[in-house]
Structure 1
Amino acid sequence: MALKKSDLYSSLWSSADELRGSMDASQYKDYVLTLLFVKYVSDKAKADPYPLIEVPEGGSFDYLVTLKGKADVGEKVNVAIRKLAEANDLQGVINNADFDDPTKLGSGKELQDKVSNLIGIFQDMDFSGSKAEGDDLLGDAYEYLMRHFATQSGKSKGQFYTPAEVSRVMAQLLQIPAGTPKATTVYDPTCGSGSLLIKVADAAPNGLTIYGQENDNATWALARMNMILHGNETHEIVQGNTLSDPKFRTGDKLATFDYLVANPPFSVKTWKNGLDEDYDRFDGFGWPPEKNGDYAFLLHMVKSLKSTGKGVVVLPHGVLFRGNAEATIRTELIKRGYIRAIIGLPANLFYGTGIPACLIVLDKNDAQARTGIFMIDASKGFEKDGPKNRLRPRDMHKIVDAFVNQKEIDRYSRMVPLSEICDKKNDYNLNIPRYIDSSEPEDIQDLHAHLRGGIPNRDLDALQPYWDAFPSLRSQLFKPLREGYSELTVDKADIQVTITGSSEYVAFAEGTLARVDAWWADKRKLLVDITDTTRPNDLIHDVSEALLEDFRPRPLIDEYGVYEQLMSYWNASMHDDVALMVSEGWDRAAKPRLARTWKDKNNKTKFEEAHIVTGARAAAKRWVMDLIPPEYVIARFFPTEKAELDQLVANHEAATQALNEYTEEHAVEEGLLWEAVEDDKISKALAAVRLRVAKREGAEADELEALQQVIKLYDAEAAAKRAVKDATAKLEGKALAQYAKLSVEDVQALVIDDKWGGTIRSRIGTEVTALGQVLVARLWMLGERYERTLLELDAEVEAARAKVAEHLGAMGVLE
């Protein structure tokens, strides 16, 4: 069974749980990533007769498994990993973690158990088929770990990772042509763990030749492992300080590259320490300030680009507007035309800092002919992700679309002429708010409307996209009151039903879903044709781009919102489904399997969550349906039985409600059932005991009747519950048997039409609902704001004052 991304992530993070608490995240990442690496290359070596990494005898993960539970497991794991490192010239790369260190792992039995448990977690993974062509599941898992390690490591430890979303945007901004040969070079002078370089290489269909330099030795080792895990054979990652000791050079000149990406450390104060001044990086620009290295890194990058080279760099916003030496350098860069675009990013995206950053797009090709700089203010497009912010798929695509197509979008992007940047007012200041006002228009209170009533037409005109989509709706909701003002023709409480019930709104919603259905039908063959050669990333690119194009001309609805609905579902579920089918095929992927089991720290057996459980206790079998959960099989093949079960569930709910209502009424102090209550609770057993006692005592008839009634209600509720349980078991049994009868066509219909198509259709439908809710909320607020004039409010206040005075007079307080 192929690994699901979500299961892989969970297993990898549970391995970190074994170590959490005994050491810092910046340390335990070495243990987790080392075992991830050893397991991956070992599985690949078994599946590939010509593996990239040689796995020597006594250096494989299978050998590590034989060490579990042994007293000297830590020492022998160290020896095995050292053998693997020596066989592949990876000393100091994969053997940095000490699995026999009592200061980190405990001593004696604690260390033995901890290392053995770590091996056990990875033992159940199978990476031999985890990488479908063009879609690196393990690479994604590696990034998942890096992101979590960066989050937990704190500010000083988070610099080794650039968020994957930012990396993907940077790769797309380079616009690497499809036919670019692999010999084309890409360079990152501060490459960290190498993920940014890998994203750029992945954006080139033929790949690229990778060069990188990283100062921190441990992070350099991560980068080397990362390259191997991603299959990037043609790479050269070196260790050292880029500014004081640049490794890529020819004589006294810096080497130059076709493409460049970087996320250098922000505002380094010690950048001049050991600086080698022999490479003319600052000639013609001036020296950066002594206590801030942002422009030192930027100028190194400019010097490292070929005459037609392109680059994208992450830097703090301050480089756009700070004065003195930095203003001088910025002016010269603008005059030479090296800056093609600037993109403002949201704050709190990066792990090393919470300050907002920007992307600077460098382009030396025809730089002297450049007449403007394209600017994008993308600072407001993000989602919260724990303590950090993250770019959504819609935010990423919008940035790239705007840049590639040079789209002028109100309050978002525009081409700013150099004449505007260089004029006396701006004086080469590149601060984005000078050129793009991304603030929302002020919601102005209209004094005339407050005094005389009515809703300003100005506020209604601002909703013109809605009136364009629903041409007659405005006249249904409003009528003229006086020049410049209108009044509602319906009560505020009826605004929602008027909008959502209008024929135009209904037609818009139905038209949107019809558009989704047409797009999905057009792409169905592409989905039916998924085989073991399908590249999942290429598949979703084709499907999602078609969706975007279909919705671009649609009025009102945001095509990026629709795109987000698809991509969020892809990331959450659909990607796992496609990867499963690529690995297993349609038929095998749809087969139920028995749930996985494992031992927890207390040696108790734990079970994977199951969809269907048959049998009981020791004979129980727990079935998991990875591709097609049973509710889809039931809905398609057993609709009558499902309807009958739904009715039984409704009967059970009604029986429970009747019981609750009766006990709430009578099982209270001095109520008919109060004598049967113990510890503020009543049950059938308590009621039965009280009934026997009450009969012996000759209790009142109404108490006896109440006790008999509550027992009947308990019996009815129990019978209804048993009926639901029996019907559920019967229906689940039928569904389980049905899986063996499914043809490939059945599986495709269940997955493509029912599961994927139904979910995506529903998700996109929420976009229309959200649009309606925004309109309803705005109109309700305007109606509420101007519902009563100032004179009416004054009259209400005066009436209230008179009423208070009247009451006070009646009380003798006022004469």
Structure 2
Amino acid sequence: MKKTIKIKRGIKSMQLTKQQLAAKIWNAANQMRSKIEANEYKDYILGFMFYKYISEKEEEVLTEDGATRQDMKEYLVEGNSEMVEYLQDKIGYFISYDNLFSTWLEKGKDFDIADVREALSAFNRLIGKNHKDVFEGIFNTLDTGLSNLGSTAGKQTKAVLEIIKLIKEIPMDANHDYDVLGFVYEYLISMFAANAGKKAGEFYTPHEVSVLMSDIVAEHLKDKEEIKIYDPTSGSGSLLINIGQSVTKHNGNRDSIQYYAQELKSSTYNLTRMNLVMRGINPSNIITRNADTLVEDWPLENANPNEFRKQLRVDAVVSNPPYSQKWNHEEIDENDPRYDEFGMAPTSKADFAFLLHDLYHVEDGGIMTIVLPHGVLFRGGEEGKIRRNLIEKNHIDAIIGLPANIFFGTGIPTIVMVLKRTRDENDTLIIDASENYIKEGTNNKLRSSDIKRIVDAIKERKDIENFARVVSREEIRENDYNLNIPRYVSSADDTDTWDIYATMAGGIPIVELEQFNDYWTAFPSLRNELFVPKTEKHVELISEDLTSIFSNNQEIKNYKQQAHQEFDSFKAYLSETLLTNIEELNIATAEEQVVAEMFKRLNNIPLVDKYQVYQVLADAWKVISGDIELIKQNGQAIITQVEPNMVEKTKSNKKVEVQEGWKGTILPFDLVAKVLLTEQTTALATNQDRLNQIIAEKQEIFESLSEEDFEELEDILNANKTNFTKGDLNKFVKELLKAQRKSDYDEDSIEYKCIHSKDLADTEAELKKTVKEKEDELHVLTKATTESLTPEQITELLEVKWFAELLTNINQFPTHKIDELHTGIKNIIGKYATTLSDIDKEIHETEQKLSSLLDDLVADEEDMMGINLLKELLGES
């Protein structure tokens, strides 16, 4: 049964997807910061975003309690001790009415920088006693940096007003499906990092690396109901947040996770706390510390200095510590339990110090992932000893080689190492993912398919050619505990080789056809239809008409038909899964279901790389999930909503936004017109095609003019001689037609060409007018049609927008695989098509022809002597 969407009308406000909103805010913020360093300006933008969040959180709690805006104005005062204590217990802090973010906006021109300073001071003073660790000093970076926003209070006020007006658009109510605030926050951090150079490494782990580490951890912990996770170098806190989100997908309870975070740099430590709180995590589940991870061990089972303080162990540790940092281990107790079992890292490089600290805090049955430079895999000395101990004590579970230039601020290649305190295996999985990325700007970036390929390889733990290999401890011992990835697996393709016999005598080496073994397995008859034996190790082509052989092979026909059948009903599946009760849909769960279904269908289609297909789905999912998020946030009415189409134009040397018609919030006008207004769209296209033909014909006539013609027509050409001037051409043609009719002129004459160009120009003007009228009519009709769509029409349009291109791309993969085989065989045939014997024969024939030509030459005595010497050389050849 066809699924349809029930809709309600009414919504009219402009809506942006979280991606569009984030990009808009970044562009504005990047312009606003002017000469302020990106690394500093991020603290101001993100600080005010956090203040907006906690301010609106307090208003939300009071509204749920039944309070009105007037009630808040009356009772939200510092002198109301009962209200202060209530909010401190409920949310951990108190903000008076005068200091609310919304009150700042209400003040308008009366707002002053002094309002911010007073609010930040009051906030720090009114934190609940049980939430000091989470909130105390969280605005210090913002407070101390306000003076950098301008040399005077007036300039500072103006700068802050610009910021709060910019971020007021960000909705602060987050849920699992539509976390706009979290997305914008993460996006801004990533963009500031991209512009911060080397300083970016202090606070940012690329989102894709964070997701990779989080998915590995979440898969390991998926059956646990209560989880403790820890990041000892927390930066912006994104690693912890992504793990929390991944784990929540499995157990569905975000409050079952305790977050431990430690960060040395104060400004970055504040980012961690802000990020965790803004993601809706219960402050009681956030335990943080601003200190040096290596100097003093943390976290502890309890914080009372008068009691025995036992080091806390957690279910998962994740970290991206500073690479090869110098450290002074003389400050460390020589019996420090973090290091006494494995050894002390050298003072020149703290990489293994961080790793051992992390491992020490992993619970039995727990897991850790850490980003490190490649050097930890093979450097000797103290690091070699630590590496040996880790291997012999069976802690290193997997090593993942990442692409170079994937982190902001450094181009060095890095790895993710996965370790466990207890393991069933005694081998190590080594993955070379260094070639799995997409270039984005100056950096490399893991794609969704790259992440899934890695996570699945760890889950399945098996050898994958040119990608992953399970290496025994015995082999690692034989390599003297050197874990350098190329020793065990390489992503590089085999070096091209040349067969001597085939090069001399022709034929195709059988060994070179082995690269297509998967194809020969899928299409057993194809090989015999293509080749016959030539020698024991060589074959030769039966027919050069490869296209016919491929087209007529029954197994290839069956393969394409099977692939088509597998995905023939996929559209119906997608529609059933995504368009039924769309407002109640859990986006994360739906994505997992769709991926699982797609992989199940691909299992019956050999040769196709399921991760390449997954990437196509992942790209489409960005659009699909963005639309679903908006629908869930605003209701189905947004599907039929239209909004002003705002474009940027320059007026008086200033960029301003002006409205040019309308656009659909969810459904693009061109899609609605193409699907539902075919008659009008076809009529417009017909006129547009005719217009294009007229323009092309005019250009063709002009380009046919010679230089002599240009000289004769100089008075009616523009200055660049690229076209006729309209008025002069019209006058010229008028005089020509006084003398005789157009048909009386020769069609190759310049007179005829000028008259015809004028006629075409007149037709062009009429057609342009007609096209513009029809475009306007279609635009108005499309707007009306969009606003009055039926549920059946909405379903049809969403199916086209979400699924049409996706399914087309998926269905092309089997054909692409056949084409790859066809091309591969053609390349091998071409490689040995011309043998050395053929070349030698061609050279000999050419020499003979040249010698024969030399016999016919007549010259003086000395020249003939030279010609005879040349003939002798040719004869020796």
TM-score computed with the length of structure 1 as normaliser: 0.89
Q: Is this contact kept in 1: 2:715–2:728, CA < 8 A?
A: no
Query: Alpha-carbon deviation of 1:59?
Result: 2.4
Alignment partner of 1:796 is 2:845: no
Whether 1:305 and 2:359 are equivalent positions in the alignment is no
Greater CA drift, 498-507 or 74-83:
498-507
DSSP-derived class of the 1:354 partner:
coil
2:278 maps to 1:229: yes
**Partner of 2:100 in structure 1?**
60
| Cα displacement string for residues 362-395 of structure 1 (whole angstroms, at most 9, x for unaligned residues) | 2223x4x542222222222111121211111111
Give the partner amino acid of 1:292: K
* 1:71-220 correspondence runs (5 A): 73-88=112-127, 90-97=135-142, 101=146, 103-105=148-150, 107=152, 111=156, 113-123=158-168, 125-129=169-173, 131-174=174-217, 175-182=219-226, 184-205=227-248, 206-207=253-254, 208-220=257-269
Residues of 2 paired with 1:504 and 1:719: CA distance?
57
* Unaligned stretches of 5+ residues in structure 1: 614-621
Q: Is structure 2 residue 694 aligned with structure 1 residue 664? A: no
- The answer to whether the Cα contact below 8 Å between 2:22 and 2:183 also exists between their aligned partners in 1 is no
Cα separation, partners in 2 of 1:100 and 1:59, compared to 1, 3 Å: same
Question: Tell me, what secondary structure is at the counterpart of 2:700?
Answer: helix
1:577 to 601, 618, 627: 627
Superposition deviation, residue 747 in structure 1: 1.2
Write the deviation string for residues 121-174 of structure 1: whole angstroms up to 9, x where unpaired: 223x14055x34354232122111111222211124323111222222212222
Partners of 1:558 and 1:215 lie apart in 2 by 44
Give the match's secondary structure for 2:764. Answer: helix
Question: Do 1:377 and 1:413's aligned partners in 2 also have CA atoms closer than 8 Å?
Answer: yes
Q: Quick one: which amino acid aligns to residue 39 of structure 2?
A: S
Distance apart, 1:176 and its partner CA: 4.3
The structure with more radius of gyration:
2
Structure 1 residue 16: Cα displacement: 2.3
Aligned equivalent of 2:315: 258
Q: Which moved more, 1:370-379 or 1:440-449?
A: 370-379
Q: Which structure has the higher relative contact order (CA within 8 Å, separation 6+)?
A: 2
Residue 396 of structure 1: SS of its match in structure 2? helix
Distance 1:8 1:480 in 2: 64
Deviation of 1:738 after TM superposition, in Å, equals 1.4
User: Aligned runs of 1:493-532 on 2, under 5 Å?
Assistant: 499=550, 505=556, 508-509=559-560, 511-532=562-583
Q: Which one has a larger percent helix, Structure 1 or Structure 2?
A: 2
d(CA) in 2 for partners of 1:797, 1:111:
83
Question: 1:242 deviation in Å?
Answer: 0.6
1:43 Cα deviation after fit? 4.3
Alignment match, 1:627 = 666
Q: 1:322 aligns with which of 379, 382, 395?
A: 379
The one of 481, 487, 498 equivalent to 1:428 is 481
Cα distance in 1 between the residues matched to 2:41 and 2:502? 64
Whether the 8 Å CA contact 1:5–1:141 is kept in 2: the answer is: yes
Q: CA distance change for structure 1 residues 548 and 600 in 2, over 3 Å: closer, same or farther? A: farther
Give the CA deviation at 1:706. Answer: 2.4
Residue 800 of structure 2 corresponds to which residue in structure 1?
A: 754
When residues 692 and 743 of structure 1 are mapped into structure 2, their CA distance, relative to the original with a 3 A threshold, is: closer
Q: Quick one: distance in 1 between partners of 2:846 and 2:281?
A: 79
**Given the superposition, is the C-alpha separation of residues 772 and 45 from structure 1 closer, same or farther in structure 2, using an over 3 Å criterion?**
farther
Distance 1:94 1:756, change over 3 A: same
Q: Contact 2:399–2:418 at 8 Å: present in 1 too?
A: yes
Which residue of the partner structure matches residue 440 of structure 1?
493
- CA–CA distance in structure 1, aligned partners of residues 634 and 497 of structure 2: 60
Match in the other structure for 1:619? none
Q: Is the 8 A contact 1:455 1:783 kept in 2?
A: yes
* Structure 1 contact 457–485 (Cα < 8 Å) conserved: yes
Match of 2:365, SS state, is strand
Identical pairs, percent? 29
The offset of 1:192, in angstroms, is 1.2
CA distance in 2, matches of 1:430, 1:227: 36
- Is 1:550 matched up with 2:594? no
> What is the CA distance between 1:282 and its match in structure 2?
1.4
Distance 2:144 2:858 in 1: 85
User: What displacement does 1:361 show?
Assistant: 1.7
Query: Equivalent residue for 1:587?
Result: 637
Query: How many residues are matched?
Result: 792
Task: Give the whole-Å Cα distance in 2 for the aligned partners of 1:225 and 1:502.
Answer: 63
3-state SS in 1 of match to 2:99: coil
3-state SS in 1 of match to 2:435: coil
Matched, 1:682 2:731: no
Cα gap change, 1:79 to 1:800, in 2 (>3 Å) = farther
Q: 2:440 aligns with which of 379, 385, 396?
A: 385
Equivalent residue number for residue 75 of structure 2:
none
Q: Does 1:717 align with 2:772?
A: no
CA drift of 1:668 comes to: 4.4
1:484 maps to what in 2? 537
Are residues 329 and 747 of structure 1, via their aligned partners in 2, closer, same or farther at CA, if it must alter by over 3 Å?
Answer: same
Conservation of the 8 A alpha-carbon contact between 2:178 and 2:633 = no
The Cα shift of 1:259 comes to 1.7
Is residue 463 of structure 1 aligned with residue 516 of structure 2?
A: yes
Q: Kindly provide the amino acid, as one letter, of the partner of residue 688 in structure 1.
A: N
CA distance 1:280–1:95, shift in 2 (3 Å): closer
- Does the Cα contact within 8 Å between 2:567 and 2:811 map onto a contact in 1? no
Deviating more after overlay: 693-702 vs 680-689: 693-702
User: 1:117: Cα distance to partner?
Assistant: 2.8
Measure, in 2, the Cα distance between the counterparts of 1:421 and 1:146: 40
Q: What is the deviation of 1:460? A: 2.3
Range with bigger deviation, 297-306 or 98-107: 98-107
SS at match of 2:205: coil
Counting only pairs closer than 5 Å after superposition, residues 352-363 of structure 1 correspond to structure 2 as 352-363=409-420
Which of 400, 407, 413 is the matching residue for 2:468?
413
The whole-number CA distance in structure 2 between the counterparts of 1:668 and 1:541 is 67
Report if aligned partners of 1:133, 1:534 keep a CA contact under 8 Å in 2: no
Q: Deviations 1:449-473 (Å, cap 9, x if unpaired)?
A: 1111222232223212234444554
Whether the aligned pair in 1 keeps the contact of 2:640 and 2:667 (CA below 8 Å) is: yes
Partner SS, residue 97 of structure 1: helix
Name the CA distance, whole Å, in 2 between partners of 1:11 and 1:544. Answer: 31
Between 1:6-15 and 1:557-566, the stretch displaced more is 6-15
Q: Which amino acid aligns with 1:386?
A: G
RMSD between superposed Cα atoms in Å: 3.3
Asked whether the equivalents of residues 530 and 581 of structure 1 are also in contact (C-alpha less than 8 Å), the reply is no
Query: How far apart are 1:46 and its partner, in Å?
Result: 4.4
- Report SS of the residue matched to 2:503: helix
Partner of residue 618, structure 1: none
Residue range with higher mean Cα deviation, 330-339 or 429-438: 429-438
CA distance in 2, matches of 1:777, 1:662: 42
Q: Which runs of 5+ in 2 are unaligned?
A: 1-12, 65-89, 302-307, 868-877
Alpha-carbon offset, residue 655 of structure 1: 1.4
Check the 8 A contact 2:733/2:758 in 1, yes or no. Answer: no
Alignment of 1:730 with 2:777, yes or no, is yes
2:400 partner SS: strand
Cα distance change on mapping 1:512 and 1:630 into 2, 3 Å: farther
Contact 1:159-1:351 within 8 A present in 2 as well? no
Which residue of 455, 458, 461 maps to 1:403?
Answer: 458
Residue identity opposite 1:767 in structure 2: F
CA gap of 1:645–1:694, structure 2 versus 1, over 3 A, is closer
Against the structure 1 CA distance between its residues 228 and 101, is the aligned structure 2 distance closer, same or farther, given a 3 Å change threshold? closer
Separation in structure 1 between the aligned mates of residue 575 and residue 817 of structure 2, nearest angstrom: 28
Please point out which of 15, 23, 43 is paired with 1:10: 23
Distance 1:717 1:811, change over 3 A: farther
Gap change, CA 1:348 and 1:670, over 3 Å in 2: same
Matches within 5 A, 1:340-379: 340-365=397-422, 367=423, 370-379=425-434
**Shift of residue 593 of structure 1?**
2.0
Instruction: Work out whether 1:35 is the aligned partner of 2:48.
Output: yes
- Please tell me whether the aligned partners of residues 22 and 105 of structure 1 are also in contact (alpha carbons under 8 angstroms): no
Deviation at 1:580, TM superposition (A): 0.9
